[in-house]
Amino acid sequence: MKLVREVDEMDIATEYDVLVVGGGIAGMEAALNLADMGFKVLLVEKEPSIGGKMILLSKVFPTLDCASCIATPKMAATAHHPNITVLTYSEVEEVRKVKEGLFKVKVLKKPRYVKEDLCTGCQQCEFKCPVTVPDQFNYGMVARKAIYIPFSTATPRIALIDIDNCILCGICEQVCPADAIDFTEEPVEYEIEVGAVIISTGFRLFPAEKMPNYGFGRFKNVITSMQMDRLLSPTRPYNTILRPSDGRIPDKIAYVLCTGSRDKSVGNPLCSQVCCMYSIKQAQLLMGALPLADIYIFYIDIRAFGKGFEEFYNQAKAMGVNFIKGKIAKIIEKENGNLILRYEDIDDGGKLKEEEFDLVVLSVGLLPNPEIRKIFVHPSLELDEYGYVKVLDEELSPAKTNIDGVYVAGTATGPMDIPDSIISAGSAAAEAASYLSRYREKAVEVRE
Ligand SMILES: Cc1cc2nc3c(=O)[nH]c(=O)nc-3n(C[C@H](O)[C@H](O)[C@H](O)COP(=O)(O)OP(=O)(O)OC[C@H]3O[C@@H](n4cnc5c(N)ncnc54)[C@H](O)[C@@H]3O)c2cc1C
């Protein structure tokens, strides 16, 4: 059952200047920019915590700054800003434009089965819960409980029950010192009015199982780059790098660049813009974590186009990372879990070669998140030919969509790295502020 909140029982305001959809780095930046200008912002995030992909990363290229050390203060600033209301574990169901400066929005808040105002994040429920399932925030490499806090830096730090896997044993209810467990919670629908909308719904990771010749999902020691970023991060699942099949520390690791990028055969002709650099970043971090390991990067071309990127690439070469120009045709698993990579060595006259590795990392590309289109019931939102939110003018107005008053920030509009996502968020916030200054007051006056 879905409860529709009546206006007089709303626990949040019913009117905001701006709705921001998606609380990754781009959404948080856009919300903070607008809130600092005095606008009231509602930020809606579908996951139980804000932070997006960035909070799950290890370090960032090319500076090797710790990703969570940069993202956590932004998350805290967003959650505590007096002009920002954050609704996590919530989805925007519908956006309808009434007139310039006025959009009617429906938001569905999913039940956590844990009272947000009572939970202290003490994790007593999590420690005692008897159910274990794969942890989606560690990309299935370890388990989490059926009642859980998503990750150690989750914002807000509030538990939730994964009701599909809960066995209703009631242990969490017995051990919760704050009496916060509530199995009777229902989804709640809010009807809200806003003056403008910013879409910052980010990207999806290329599903590596779509390339069967690489064996992801079948060969235990083939993992994705996102899994490797988790293994290298300060909030990592184990204290070192272990290969999945037997928990051994790998001695020889291969990276397969352009997995699912620049490849029409899997429906993604675009360069994902970050894979070369994040693979070089991970290779450098691995050389620090496993000084005796040999690291190989198989590439088509290395795209090191940003400030300091070429130097970062040269630094990896100087550290001893092996770069081999050649596309991987096939990966074969041996009985001991090792992997044979068959490839064409372009710099050695295109010879076909084979090399054995302990662990293979697929540098997966970025894909669009096209579901956002369906929430715009009137007028409809246009996507570009790749499925990203279409911008009116790539060169002159990179944040404007086909709907006046709706702007786009970060990777919702195309592949980009964190600094570019932040610049894009600033642009969307400035466009929204300019639009609101033109229409918002008039819309509010007419309604009143
Ligand atoms: C393995 C890997 C390593 C990387 N390393 C680096 C690096 O070192 N340096 C660097 O600069 N970049 C790196 N990147 C790129 C970086 O992750 C992105 O640039 C950045 O995360 C983009 O932020 P975003 O806010 O646009 O999107 P996201 O991080 O995807 O955030 C989008 C948010 O929107 C939410 N959302 C989606 N749909 C909805 C909806 N319908 N309603 C509500 N919420 C929704 C999502 O849950 C998410 O929280 C890396 C990427 C990968 C894959």
**What pLDDT does residue 394 have?**
87
**What pLDDT does residue 9 have?**
57
Q: How far apart are CA 214 and CA 158, in angstroms?
A: 38
Backbone phi, then psi, for 428, in 5-degree steps? -65, -40
Q: Which atom of ligand 1 is nearest to the CA of 371?
A: 41
Task: Write out pLDDT tens, residues 8-64.
Answer: 556 888 999 999 999 999 999 999 999 999 999 999 999 999 999 999 999 999 999
In order of 128, 146, 165, 275, the CA distances from 124 in angstroms are 6, 13, 18, 39
* 3-state SS track over 68-109: HHHHHHHHHHHHHCCCEEEECCEEEEEEEEEECCEEEEEEEE
Pocket of ligand 1 contains residue 159 by CB under 6 Å: no
Q: How far apart are CA 142 and CA 136, in angstroms?
A: 9
Tokens (6 digits) for 78: 């967003």
Q: Whose CA is nearest to atom 39 of ligand 1?
A: 201
**What pLDDT does residue 140 have?**
96
Options 3.90.650.10, 3.40.50.450, 3.30.70.20, 3.90.1150.10; CATH for 112-182 is 3.30.70.20
Q: Which atom of ligand 1 is nearest to the CA of 28?
A: 25
Blockwise average pLDDT, block size 10, the chain, 448 residues: 57 93 98 97 98 98 96 98 98 97 97 97 98 97 97 97 98 98 96 97 98 97 98 92 96 98 95 98 97 97 95 97 96 98 95 97 96 95 97 92 98 98 98 94 59
Residue 54 Cα to ligand 1 middle (Å): 6
Pocket of ligand 1 contains residue 57 by CB under 6 Å: yes
Pocket of ligand 1 contains residue 408 by CB under 6 Å: no
Pocket of ligand 1 contains residue 45 by CB under 6 Å: yes
Top mutation candidate among 53, 258, 373 for ligand 1, by most atoms within 8 Å of CB:
53
Residue 417 Cα to ligand 1 middle (Å): 9
CATH, range 3-110+186-203+368-447: 3.50.50.60
Options 3.20.20.140, 3.40.50.720, 3.50.50.60, 3.20.20.70; CATH for 205-366 is 3.50.50.60
Residue 320 Cα to ligand 1 middle (Å): 30
Domain ranges for the chain = 3-110+186-203+368-447, 112-182, 205-366
Q: Which atom of ligand 1 is nearest to the CA of 67?
A: 8
For tokens 């291969």, the residue is 254
**What pLDDT does residue 442 have?**
61
